[in-house]
Amino acid sequence: MRRRPPGAGIAPRHLAGWLFADLFLVLFLVALGMIASDGTGAAGAKKAPKPSASPSSSASSSASPSPSRTAKGPTGLDPRRHTFAVSLSSGATGRAAGKGNLNAADRKKIIAALDKEIRASGDGRRIGMVITFGVAPQSMLGAATDLAEDVNATLKSRRPQAFCGGNVGTRPFWSGGSADRVEIELYYINACEGQG
């Protein structure tokens, strides 16, 4: 029987970051659900009337939202993630190691991709949370995480109006793969105060 050579695979200490990311996301969703709750809860929700046999009444009842929902969905953070990837110029992962070292072309690509995703999936909502994965081989783990952090800072500084206030959670992480690429996950807020 052959044993795996030492150092093969991903070290458990790197997997701890993934566990932390998942726990952070769950905690964030629970907190937002408690804060942004519309207050009706299960006890206060009204039962939807049963549709009758006539086609006109069933069409009108399915078009109107239930009492506990707004036209854009329930209040709080939308649990559906919207993911997009951006390929950056060669060497972007290494340049980001000093933080704030993305070049102008890479910033334009990132902002253009964000704008495209917001047009496609935003429905007039603002961003409530961003998780960015710097993609690189494991040997460049630190540089890839720095790249993800730079991308998050770029998103917030170049498109502040897209976020629900200045206290939006952004988290940088590493994901294995070829260098000089980021994967961005957006989570929208369905009802952001001051959103018009």
In a domain? residue 66: no
- Check residue 192 and give its pLDDT: 80
In a domain? residue 160: yes
Which is nearest to 175 in space by CA: 8, 7, 18?
Answer: 18
In a domain? residue 12: no
In a domain? residue 27: no
Entry pTM: 0.62
Mean predicted confidence (pLDDT) in 161-175: 89
CATH number of the domain encompassing residue 193? 3.30.1330.60
Of 49-58, 76-85, 86-95, give the lowest mean pLDDT range. 49-58
Residue 96 reports pLDDT greater than 70:
no
Q: Which residue has the higher pLDDT, 29 or 129?
A: 129
In a domain? residue 137: yes
Residue 84 reports pLDDT greater than 90:
yes
Helix (H) or strand (E) holding 39: none
Residue 65 reports pLDDT greater than 60:
no
- The domain in which residue 169 lies consists of 75-196
DSSP state of 165: S
CA-based torsion, 15, 18, 23, 24: positive or negative: positive
In a domain? residue 105: yes
Domain count of the fold of the chain: 1
In a domain? residue 175: yes
In a domain? residue 28: no
Question: Going along the chain, which residue ranges are E strands?
Answer: 82-87, 126-135, 169-175, 181-189
